[in-house]
């Protein structure tokens, strides 16, 4: 049983970066960060150095952008949802100028927009971010979740006044249903995945995530580092990965970091699409039942796919126990490294890197990725403890142990 499987990028647009430059113009991270900085309580999340782990694995450095403390929401997702709602309101009232946060929540703007109901499908984190943003602006939200969504994630969404609807199906079924119901009820869909005829808002969401890159580069600069040499990013529909990797490629072109996407093997839609190799995104069948709930998506976002096929070097599908191992690695760090609270979706890249560096069976992969003592690796801890019951099962009780041969 293979811990991870991988496929190289064979798309004909590989290394062209046209979509990256179109989606992520140079000024976009400046604009998104200026908006986010105006939100009360907004602070830069830490970029944590795992020096001891880097020495242990034989790389030059490992840095983790820790999104577990983003606005006390335990996830990066609020960056995209809040920015998309901001752009939507600007377009709705016909104003192209920049708005301060105070203006955005003012009665004057509310009088122009009327009451809006924002809707989305989620595995938990995106819905929580949309519900939070809607409540701050004085609007309603309706959040669709799939039947396997944990109660703790549902409760977190409900805490911001949202209406939650549980769909008897998987994440993709929830996406389909909310788009149908929104048309009937006049709701505005704020989805982080795209489909034909629905691309503008998912683009704004992806652009909202570029605040992460802006902060990372400021933090690297303070340490005298220009750029990472490698980026490992986890993926569901691909929006976060496209934002991080695509933005670097829009800025640096062929000098960009070597990039790797990691998905659950039970929901590896991007990996499978690249493996099929016809240049199109493909649906991953099944119930998508992975502990990596935030990545359990069967259908790639087409606009994210367009960025990823021209910029990502390698796609990896990982077993659930790899994510569980990563959670324990973060929770019980080597002496001298910081403790990091990482959920199932946030931790899979660290353990994947570990196996690539230490397992003899991945020697060829390690060499292909040029991972060595000079490598500066960037990881994104995309979520904290968003499901406390499962977190304890994994970290305390050893759920999903690594099989030993």
Active site residues: 77, 123
* Residue with tokens 């929580």, as numbered in its chain: 128
Would you say the C-alpha torsion 13, 16, 22, 28 has a positive or negative sign? positive
Instruction: Provide the angle, in degrees to the nearest 10, between the axes of the packed helices 320-331 and 388-395.
Output: 80
Would you say the C-alpha torsion 292, 211, 20, 253 has a positive or negative sign? negative
Q: Which residues contact 123 (CB under 8 A, 6 or more apart)?
A: 145, 146, 149, 153, 171, 236, 293, 294, 296, 297
Distance of alpha carbon 173 from alpha carbon 121, whole angstroms: 9
**Tokens encoding 135:** 């409540």
**Tokens encoding 360:** 């003899």
- 310 burial via Cβ count (<10 Å: 0-12, 13-18, 19+): buried
**Tokens encoding 402:** 């690594």
Distance of alpha carbon 76 from alpha carbon 93, whole angstroms: 27
Q: How many CB atoms lie within 10 A of CB 303?
A: 25
Strand partners, 145: 122, 166
């Amino acid at each position: 049983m293979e811990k991870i499987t991988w496929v190289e990028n064979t798309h004909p647009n590989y290394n062209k970066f046209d979509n990256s430059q179109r989606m992520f113009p140079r000024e976009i991270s400046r604009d998104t960060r200026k908006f986010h900085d105006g939100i009360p309580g907004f602070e830069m999340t830490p970029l944590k150095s795992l020096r001891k782990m880097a020495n242990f694995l034989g790389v030059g450095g490992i840095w983790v952008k820790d999104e577990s403390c983003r606005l006390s929401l335990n996830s990066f997702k609020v960056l995209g949802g809040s920015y998309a709602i901001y752009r939507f309101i600007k377009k709705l009232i016909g104003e192209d100028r920049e708005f301060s946060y105070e203006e955005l929540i003012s009665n004057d703007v509310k009088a122009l927009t009327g009451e809006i109901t924002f809707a989305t499908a989620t595995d938990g984190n995106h819905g929580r971010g949309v519900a939070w943003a809607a409540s701050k602006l004085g609007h309603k939200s309706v959040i669709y979740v799939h039947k396997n969504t944990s109660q703790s994630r549902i409760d977190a969404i409900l805490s911001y006044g949202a209406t939650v609807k549980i769909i008897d199906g998987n994440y993709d079924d929830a996406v389909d249903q909310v788009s149908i119901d929104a048309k009937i009820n006049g709701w505005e869909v704020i989805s982080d995945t795209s489909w034909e005829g629905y691309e503008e808002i998912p683009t704004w969401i992806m652009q909202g995530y570029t605040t992460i890159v802006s902060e990372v580069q400021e933090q690297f600069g303070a340490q005298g580092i220009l750029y990472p040499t490698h980026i490992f990013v986890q993926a569901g529909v691909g929006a976060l990965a496209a934002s991080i990797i695509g933005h670097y490629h829009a800025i640096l072109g062929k000098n960009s970091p070597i990039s790797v996407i990691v998905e659950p093997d039970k929901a590896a839609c991007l990996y499978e699409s690249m493996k099929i190799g016809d240049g199109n995104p493909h649906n991953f069948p099944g119930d998508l039942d992975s502990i990596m709930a935030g990545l359990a998506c069967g259908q790639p976002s087409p606009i994210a796919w367009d960025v990823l096929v021209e910029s990502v070097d390698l796609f990896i599908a990982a077993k659930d126990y790899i994510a569980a191992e990563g959670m324990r690695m973060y929770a019980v760090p080597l002496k001298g490294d910081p403790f990091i609270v990482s959920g199932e979706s946030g931790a899979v890249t660290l353990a994947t890197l570990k196996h690539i560096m230490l397992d003899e069976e991945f020697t060829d992969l390690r060499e292909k990725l040029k991972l060595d003592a000079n490598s500066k690796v960037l990881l994104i801890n995309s979520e904290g403890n968003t499901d406390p019951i499962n977190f304890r099962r994994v970290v305390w009780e050893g759920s999903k142990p690594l099989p030993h041969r």
